[in-house]
């Protein structure tokens, strides 16, 4: 959600911090700030709104210094104004802190500190940390941070600087991602590798309970007992080009158009044509172990939850293993029936979603084996799961998930193939799936080549206030996903429903102003969905249909049609979701919405 970047080295810090913050802006962006050691002390500049406003402030009054920290904020405690923006400073002004996460005992600590004479000037929980570190400070910054953190309950990723113990950054993690970037005579801290990718690809990920003490010449990783920990250096192989827009108007559009490649990347080297199965090196499960599970639970949030629903149908249809899909936020607080004969699949683009991570830990605690289907390499879910499948979709910057969704479904297909072929899926049927999968990149490209047709449809509906999305079978989750895409970036109210459920309530909403998007390719439930189209038309609803061939049964019943290539039913969600992504995108752009950074949303939801 919020983003952290820090720099210590020979270069002037502020341009590096601003550059890092801009790359993090997609994570959370209601305000931003930096604190830099200016030679005399810690100087802090903060501003509400976009990074560009902070940049303008700094341009008019530059700070000269080579050690600093920066932050983009997504408000949790207190409104997104300049006062509440990070960094927050201690009462004596010697310490500055940036923080992601939530301090749960902030009120108790605040009362205690007020009793000792500290005055609070912001509505944030983070200010508590700054004063607490001052209270504990005795000349060595990391010692003070350790002492303070022993008193803190909740989640945090923090970076701290001090004008007394200067030329170093102390960073600590519990529940909110942080890493150290290793350069030549310079070091970085960041909550997300994209902030520092322009400068280094060598990183050390912090785990919960770990701290980094970073200066120009090196770094130490310690725990909260000050015991040194030795950590592996990871190499990041993402390109800078992948986190830039590369000529597209928005990251979201770029990411939609990348899907022929990203879907291919997810499959690359993993399909075994001769055996009609897949090879997944990261599962860390023998075939015997894979066959030993009684049931599968898939847990995720948002778009990843929609891909989980598709996974449920895939696994049950092809591998015949019972699957349950759970919202991670609900799973963690229920008493789910999960034990050592359960395989828990956790799906997350970021690998950092707080609810999903907590659900995975809960499943592990109950004895389940966990598999992460994750995009961000080295993310917490990727590291803590017992095994997994990286989707290899590359960095997804647009807040609305697009390419990660299609790649998640491909990863689920790969997993299903593997499991189903170990069970009783025939070679011929397996081969049909493999061949269908191999055709997907080209078929997605055919859809993208006709994006203009979707743009024309968007023009017709850009002023609508509500949308209904309907689908059946494999395409019900596609309807949910289409509705989510539209609402999150265009702010139009949209609902996704199984098409037949419409007559149990939503049909009351249909009139001549209501656009209804039917995901109705020619599949095994096509005849059923035809009746639902007729029901909408009989009530003068305006029908937009995603079809896959000329359908006499729909003649005169569709106002706007977009045809996608034909494929197997179980592959259809991958193709059908692409025009819906485009529809949401074009409508949002036409309404003047900020497509890549929709209001109130953040890319990675690292608070509960």
Compute the least distance from the CB of residue 300 to ligand M6R, in Å.
6
Residue closer to ligand M6R, measured from CB, 484 or 514: 484
Compute the least distance from the CB of residue 252 to ligand M6R, in Å.
9
Compute the least distance from the CB of residue 605 to ligand M6R, in Å.
5
Compute the least distance from the CB of residue 337 to ligand M6R, in Å.
24
**β-bridge pairing 323-327 and 295-300:** parallel
Residue closer to ligand M6R, measured from CB, 219 or 305: 305
**Nearby residues of 507 by Cβ (< 8 Å), 6 or more positions away:** 535, 536, 539
Q: What are the residue numbers of the active site? A: 2, 603
CB-based closest residue to ligand M6R:
302
Token pair 């940036």 in the structure block, residue: 98
Residue closer to ligand M6R, measured from CB, 26 or 137: 26
Query: 36-62 in b/e burial notation, b at 16+ Cβ within 10 A?
Result: bbbeebbbbbbbbebbeebbebbeeee
DSSP 475: G
Residue closer to ligand M6R, measured from CB, 399 or 447: 399
Token pair 């059946």 in the structure block, residue: 472
Compute the least distance from the CB of residue 386 to ligand M6R, in Å.
18
Q: For the chain, what percentages of helix, strand and coil (3-state, to nearest 5) are there? A: 40, 25, 35
**Three-class SS state of 435:** helix
Compute the least distance from the CB of residue 357 to ligand M6R, in Å.
9
Residue closer to ligand M6R, measured from CB, 90 or 303: 303
Closest CA to 4 of 169, 120, 243: 169
**Nearby residues of 92 by Cβ (< 8 Å), 6 or more positions away:** 134
Q: Which two tokens stand for residue 193?
A: 């590798």
Compute the least distance from the CB of residue 330 to ligand M6R, in Å.
14
User: Quick check: bond before 87 cis, omega within 30?
Assistant: yes
- Given the rule CB under 6 A, which residues bind ligand M6R? 301-304, 348-350, 353, 356, 399-401, 484, 488, 601, 604-605
Cα–Cα distances in Å, from 550 out to 520, 561, 564, 565? 11, 10, 11, 12
518 in Cβ contact with 532 (< 8 Å): yes
Compute the least distance from the CB of residue 391 to ligand M6R, in Å.
10
Residue closer to ligand M6R, measured from CB, 90 or 577: 577
**Three-class SS state of 453:** helix
Residue closer to ligand M6R, measured from CB, 265 or 353: 353
Residue closer to ligand M6R, measured from CB, 155 or 401: 401
Q: How far apart are CA 81 and CA 49, in angstroms?
A: 8
Compute the least distance from the CB of residue 75 to ligand M6R, in Å.
17
Residue 223, strand partner residues: 210
Closest CA to 251 of 601, 602, 606, 597: 597
**Three-class SS state of 182:** strand
Residue closer to ligand M6R, measured from CB, 70 or 598: 598
The contacts found for 184-187 with CB under 8 angstroms, 24 or more apart, are 185/9, 185/10, 185/216, 185/217, 186/7, 186/8, 186/9, 186/10, 186/11, 186/216, 187/7, 187/8, 187/9, 187/214, 187/215, 187/216, 187/218, 187/219
């Amino acid at each position: 959600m919020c983003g952290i970047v820090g720099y210590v080295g020979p270069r002037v810090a502020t341009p590096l911090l601003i550059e890092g913050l801009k790359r993090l802006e997609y994570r959370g962006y209601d305000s931003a700030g930096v604190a830099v050691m200016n030679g005399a002390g810690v100087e802090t500049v903060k501003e509400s709104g976009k990074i560009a406003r902070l940049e303008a402030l700094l341009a008019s009054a530059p700070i000269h210094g080579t050690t600093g920290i920066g932050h983009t904020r997504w408000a949790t405690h207190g409104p997104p104004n300049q006062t509440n923006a990070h960094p927050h400073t201690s009462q004596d002004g010697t310490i500055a802190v940036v923080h992601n996460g939530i301090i749960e005992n902030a009120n108790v600590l605040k009362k205690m500190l007020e009793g000792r004479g500290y005055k609070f000037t912001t509505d944030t929980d983070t200010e508590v940390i700054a004063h607490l570190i001052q209270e504990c400070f005795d000349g060595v910054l990391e010692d003070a941070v350790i002492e303070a953190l022993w008193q803190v309950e909740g989640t945090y990723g923090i970076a701290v600087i001090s004008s007394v113990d200067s030329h170093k950054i102390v960073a600590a993690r519990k529940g909110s991602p942080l890493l150290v970037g290793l350069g030549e005579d310079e070091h970085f801290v960041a909550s997300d590798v994209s902030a520092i990718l322009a400068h280094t690809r060598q990183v050390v990920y912090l785990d919960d309970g770990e701290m980094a003490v970073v200066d120009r010449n090196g770094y130490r990783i310690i725990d909260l007992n000050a015991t040194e920990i030795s950590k592996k250096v990871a190499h990041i192989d993402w390109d800078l080009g992948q986190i830039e827009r590369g000529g597209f108007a928005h990251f979201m559009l770029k990411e939609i158009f990348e899907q022929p490649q990203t879907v291919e990347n997810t499959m690359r080297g993993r399909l075994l044509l001769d055996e009609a199965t897949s090879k997944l090196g990261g599962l860390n499960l023998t075939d015997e172990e894979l066959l030993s599970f009684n049931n599968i639970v898939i847990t995720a949030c948002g778009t990843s939850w929609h891909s989980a629903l598709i996974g449920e149908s895939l696994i049950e249809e092809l591998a015949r293993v019972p699957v349950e899909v759970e919202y991670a936020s609900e799973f963690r607080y229920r008493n789910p029936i999960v034990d050592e004969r359960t395989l828990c699949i956790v799906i997350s683009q970021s690998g950092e979603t707080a609810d999903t991570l907590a659900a995975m830990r809960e499943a592990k605690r109950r004895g389940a084996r966990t598999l992460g289907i994750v995009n961000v390499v080295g993310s917490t879910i990727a590291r803590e799961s017992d095994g997994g499948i990286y989707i290899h979709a590359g960095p997804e910057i647009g807040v609305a998930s697009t390419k990660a969704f299609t790649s998640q479904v491909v990863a689920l297909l790969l997993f299903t193939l593997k499991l189903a072929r170990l069970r009783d899926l025939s070679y011929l049927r397996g081969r049909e799936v493999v061949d269908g999968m191999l055709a997907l990149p080209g078929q997605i490209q055919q859809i993208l080549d006709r994006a203009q047709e979707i743009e024309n449809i968007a023009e017709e509906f850009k002023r609508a206030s509500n949308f209904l999305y309907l689908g059946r079978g494999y395409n019900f989750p596609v309807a949910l996903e289409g509705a989510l895409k539209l609402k999150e970036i265009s702010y139009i109210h949209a609902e996704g429903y199984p098409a037949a459920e419409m007559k149990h309530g939503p049909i009351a909403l249909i009139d001549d102003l209501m656009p209804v998007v039917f995901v109705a390719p020619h599949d095994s439930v096509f005849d059923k969905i035809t009746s639902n189209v007729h029901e909408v038309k009989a009530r003068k609803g305006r029908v937009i249909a995603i079809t896959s061939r000329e359908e006499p049964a729909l003649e005169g019943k569709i106002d706007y049609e977009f045809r996608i290539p034909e494929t197997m039913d179980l592959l259809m969600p991958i193709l059908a979701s692409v025009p819906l992504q485009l529809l949401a995108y074009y409508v949002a752009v036409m309404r003047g919405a900020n497509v890549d950074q929709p209001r109130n949303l953040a890319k990675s939801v690292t608070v509960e």
